[in-house]
């Protein structure tokens, strides 16, 4: 499988630009996992960390769900892998499979895209349950870009350690 990664436009409206950058970072994570076996995707960075490429995919499924479905859409649903709102559970992918992790992540991305497209404006706000603060869809999308960019840096190092592949 080869992931298609479309570069964001250099000139666009705010919403189109933010959406394109988020999709670019989503595709980058998927690209870092291309061509690897389940065992390679589960390979951990270094003890005691359970960080792996598959763990990053699982974590980002949780992040997508938490911010788009739970916050912006107001859905009262648990996280994918933890009913106690423990984001760390997703990182431990020692028994996970590509098909299971990617199915969950892709489903959450599809929900996120639908919610974003159905929301009238980036200015729409919702209450973030943990802090109680009102947050805008704009903040959520920018936060997701930040989260993906940060974890894609981890994915770069993990992938290089697995098979020497480097690069964007």
**Residue 107 within any structural domain of the chain:** yes
Please identify which residue in the block is written with the tokens 């993906």: 148
**Residue 50 within any structural domain of the chain:** yes
The residues that bridge with 125 in the sheet, in sequence order, are: 136
**Residue 168 within any structural domain of the chain:** no
Per-residue pLDDT of 13-32, as tens digits, reads 999 999 999 999 999 999 99
Work out the percent of the chain whose per-residue pLDDT is above 70: 99
What is this structure's pTM?
0.95
Please identify which residue in the block is written with the tokens 């290089």: 160
CB 64 within 8 A of CB 144: yes
Q: Which of 154, 130, 126, 128 is nearest to 60 (CA)?
A: 154
Q: Which residues, in sequence order, are CB contacts of 79 under 8 Å at separation 6+?
A: 62, 65, 66, 85, 86, 87, 89, 90
**Residue 151 within any structural domain of the chain:** yes
**Residue 97 within any structural domain of the chain:** yes
Tell me: pLDDT of 168 over 80.
no
The residues that bridge with 135 in the sheet, in sequence order, are: 126
Per-residue pLDDT of 85-133, as tens digits, reads 888 899 999 999 999 999 999 999 999 999 999 999 999 999 998 899 9
**Residue 2 within any structural domain of the chain:** no
**Quick one: CA torsion of 51, 53, 58, 60, rounded to 10 degrees?**
100
Q: Which residues, in sequence order, are CB contacts of 77 under 8 Å at separation 6+?
A: 65, 69, 70
**Residue 156 within any structural domain of the chain:** yes
Q: Which of 2, 42, 58, 25 is nearest to 162 (CA)?
A: 42
Rounded Cα–Cα distance for residues 91 and 80 (Å): 12
**Residue 25 within any structural domain of the chain:** yes
Q: Which of 129, 114, 104, 28 is nearest to 68 (CA)?
A: 114
How many structural domains comprise the chain? 1
> What average pLDDT is seen over the chain?
94
**CATH code assigned at 99:** 1.20.120.450
Per-residue pLDDT of 39-60, as tens digits, reads 999 999 888 888 999 999 999 9
Tell me which residue range forms the domain holding 101. 14-163
């Amino acid at each position: 499988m080869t992931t298609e990664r479309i570069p964001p436009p250099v000139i666009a409206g705010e919403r189109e630009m933010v959406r394109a950058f988020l999709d670019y970072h989503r595709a980058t994570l998927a690209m870092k996992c291309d061509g690897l076996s389940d065992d390679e995707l589960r390979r951990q960075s270094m003890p005691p960390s359970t960080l792996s490429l598959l763990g990053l995919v699982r974590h980002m499924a949780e992040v997508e769900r938490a911010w788009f479905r739970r916050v912006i859409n107001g859905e009262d649903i648990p996280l994918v892998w933890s009913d106690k709102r423990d984001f760390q559970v997703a990182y431990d992918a020692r028994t996970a499979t590509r098909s299971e992790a990617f199915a969950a992540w892709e489903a959450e991305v599809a929900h996120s895209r639908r919610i974003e497209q159905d929301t009238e404006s980036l200015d729409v706000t919702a209450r973030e349950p943990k802090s109680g603060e009102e947050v805008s869809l704009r903040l959520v999308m920018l936060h997701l870009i930040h989260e993906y960019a940060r974890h894609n840096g981890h994915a770069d190092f993990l992938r290089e350690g697995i098979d020497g592949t480097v690069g964007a």
